[in-house]
Structure 1
Amino acid sequence: MRAVLAAPPPTLLVIAKSPVPGRVKTRLSPPCTPEQAAALAEAALADTLATLDRVPAGRRLLVLDGAAGRWLPPGWQVVPQSGGGLDERLAAAYAHAARTAPDAPALLVGMDTPQVDAALLAEPLSPARRPGVDAWYGPAGDGGFWALGLARPGGQLARRLLLGLPMSTPRTGQALLDRLLAENLTVHHLPVLTDVDTILDARQVAAEAPGSRFAARLRAIGTAPEVAG
């Protein structure tokens, strides 16, 4: 019981791009215009940050490519993304988290799953559920992953897990899971979620979270002839 009470709260990270037309959610265009795709990206990011606001944490870091906007809620520290490929940027995010709170677990999610529920993360990250868990893995329906948590993010572990990992392929998630298991880590599996990449993904996610900002934004643009089909 003493160890549970002394467990440090987790560091939560979101990795994202600023929702600028032409730079985000490009696979939504067509049928969306670049401006509509950026509006959906902004709504997804706002939903994600609001959800993580409801997950108990010691610190919240937005690892951002671009500039923050009015969508950024209070209490989030903005950390610029490092250079290099996505694998390098992810590893650098964990390194920053480890420097900030070396004894705390770190969980990173993307901006593409606005349907994620706070309880889905709060319960497995709670001090009572963390003993014996080395990593948290959230697979995406397209074969990628939407979440990765490390109980001990410091040192070289994140680099061994992420550097050289093939990104944006149907086997990215499995390749990451293989690396987790090769490190002899005890992995807690989070549910499979749908990443928003295409308009079909967007409609599915909006149906799963009808009260979200994302769903409201999709409804608002859904009457446009090019999107309604």
Structure 2
Amino acid sequence: MRAVLAAPPPTLLVVAKEPVPGRVKTRLTPPYTPEQAAALAEAALADTLRTLSAVPAGRRILVLDGSPGRWLPPGWEVVPQPAGGLDVRLAAAFAGASAGGTSAPALLVGMDTPQIAARTLAEPLSAARRQGVDAWYGPAADGGFWALGLARPTPETAARLLVGLPMSTPHTGAALEERLARAGLVVGRLPVLRDVDTAEDAARVAALAPAGRFAARWRELGDAGAAAAGTTAAAAGTQAEAAGR
């Protein structure tokens, strides 16, 4: 009981890009325009930050590529992403969280899962539940991962797990699990969640969290997105017909 009471609250990390048209959610275009895709990305980021604001934490850090906007809620520190590939930037986020010799666990999520619920993280990160757990792993439906946590984050551990990890492939999550196992870590598994990468993903995620900003923005853009999809399909059909002449 004494150890539970003395356990430090976790550090929450969100790694994100500033939602600028043409720089975020490019796989949503088409059917969406770059501006519409950026609007969906902004809503996803706002939902993620708002949800994590409700998770008990000692620090909340947004590791941002770009500049913060009105979507940033109070209580968040903002630090810039370093240069390098995504693997290097994720490892650096953990290294930053452990600076100063803190013994607090750290959990990192991206901006692609606006359907996440606060209890999904609050329960496993609670002092009572995290006893004996070395890491947390949240698999994504596309074969990647949406969350990674370390009970004792150090730059060395983060680098060993993340640097050189093949990113954005159907096998990224499996490769990370293999590294966690080789490191001998006791892993707490989080639920499988769907990242928002494609228009189909956006529709499914909006249905899972209909009360969020992401779902509201998706509904606002629904007609425009459908129209864009129809235009794209019609153009493809015209090209195919021309090719067949």
- 2:21 touches 2:35 (CA, 8 Å); kept in 1? yes
Residue in 2 that maps onto 1:226: 228
Rounded to whole Å, the distance in 1 between the matches of 2:134 and 2:155 is 14
The reply to whether residue 130 of structure 1 matches residue 137 of structure 2 is no
Gaps of 5+ in 2: 234-245
Rounded to whole Å, the distance in 1 between the matches of 2:155 and 2:16 is 24
- 1:11 touches 1:101 (CA, 8 Å); kept in 2? no
Give 1:154 deviation, angstroms.
Answer: 1.2
Deviations 1:141-200 (A, max 9, x none): 000000000001114000000010000000000000000010010000000000000000
Residue in 1 that maps onto 2:62: 62
Which protein is bigger by CA-based radius of gyration? 2
Residue in 2 that maps onto 1:153: 153
Higher helix share goes to which structure?
2
Rounded to whole Å, the distance in 2 between the matches of 1:100 and 1:118 is 27
Report sequence identity in percent: 72
Give 1:223 deviation, angstroms.
Answer: 1.2
Give 1:226 deviation, angstroms.
Answer: 1.3
Residue in 2 that maps onto 1:41: 41
**Large movers: runs of 4+ above 4 Å:** none
Residue in 1 that maps onto 2:108: 108
Give 1:102 deviation, angstroms.
Answer: 1.8
Rounded to whole Å, the distance in 1 between the matches of 2:133 and 2:34 is 41
What is the RMSD computed on CA atoms of the aligned residues? 1.1
Residue in 1 that maps onto 2:171: 171
Residue in 2 that maps onto 1:201: 201
- 2:194 touches 2:205 (CA, 8 Å); kept in 1? yes
* Counterpart AA for 2:72: L
Residue in 2 that maps onto 1:186: 186
Rounded to whole Å, the distance in 1 between the matches of 2:129 and 2:198 is 35
TM-score normalised to structure 1 length: 0.98
Residue in 2 that maps onto 1:10: 10
Tell me the matched-pair count. 229
TM-score normalised to structure 2 length: 0.92
Give 1:69 deviation, angstroms.
Answer: 0.3
